[in-house]
Homo-oligomer: A and B are copies of this chain.
């Protein structure tokens, strides 16, 4: 179907990308519509016509973030063993939250853990999406138990929770300015903890020490 009417004067996908960065840096409440339109290079009515409003734009931004900036997580899930899943997840998470071409931390947390009662749905939406990722990881660990890759007594849900907690802590730390190398050390300690607590089969020799 050919286009009808005047064509859009900006790239909606690229403008959304700019919005991602503003929300990431300033949070949902800290990002004003004026901040957003300035970064996106458009006017307010264009924002409302193309995305529906501030909250809808935020949800679209989070979706884009999950697809582009969290791609490493899907890659991690595809690793053959639970240990390698966690190793990839934690190490790649450290890289993701400390990219120099991106705001520090993670949009899912920077977006807002707390907010005014008016915006409570936003914080709830972010929390739910984080917990959804945790559920997917638990499913992956359950598969590992079924495959004998994790021992039968391992608790997939508890292990997934631990890994996500570490990831979230890494993101908070990164937002505070902690360096990639410093976070890497912490990731290795967490990985050792995972190995010790889960009884996971290790790829090489022993757990690392700091």
What separation, in Å, do the CA atoms of A11 and B199 have in the docked complex?
A: 55
Report whether A172 and B169 are in contact in the complex, using a CB–CB cutoff of 8 Å.
yes
Which residues 148-189 of A sit at the B interface, judged by CB distance below 8 A? 153-155, 158-159, 161-162, 164-170, 172-173, 175-178, 182-183, 185-186, 188-189
A207 interface residue per 8 A CB criterion: yes
Stretch among A44-52, A57-65, A74-82, A115-123 lining the B interface: A115-123
Binds B, one of A2-10, A12-20, A24-32: A24-32
A residues contacting the other copy or chain, number (CB 8 A): 64
| Distance in angstroms between the alpha carbons of A162 and B191 in the assembled complex | 11
Q: In the complex, which residues of chain B have a beta carbon less than 8 angstroms from the beta carbon of A98?
A: none
Partner of A173, one of B165, B186, B209: B165
> Taking the full assembly, how many copies of this chain does it contain?
2
* A177 with B127: CB separation less than 8 A: yes
**Taking the complex as formed, is A196 at the interface, i.e. its CB lies under 8 A from any CB of chain B?**
yes
Residues of B within 8 A of A177 (CB): 127
B197 close to A188 (CB less than 8 A):
yes
Given known contacts A30-B116, A193-B189, A164 and B169 CB-to-CB distance under 8 angstroms: yes
Assess whether B26 is in contact with A116, with CB atoms less than 8 Å apart.
yes
Question: Is the CB–CB distance between A185 and B27 below 8 Å?
Answer: no
A-B contact pairs, 16 of them (CB 8 A): A27-B115, A29-B30, A30-B114, A30-B119, A109-B113, A109-B172, A110-B113, A162-B186, A164-B169, A165-B166, A165-B173, A166-B166, A193-B194, A193-B196, A198-B210, A199-B209
- Smallest distance from the beta carbon of A161 to chain B beta carbons, Å? 5
Output the nearest chain B residue to A110 by Cβ-Cβ distance. B114
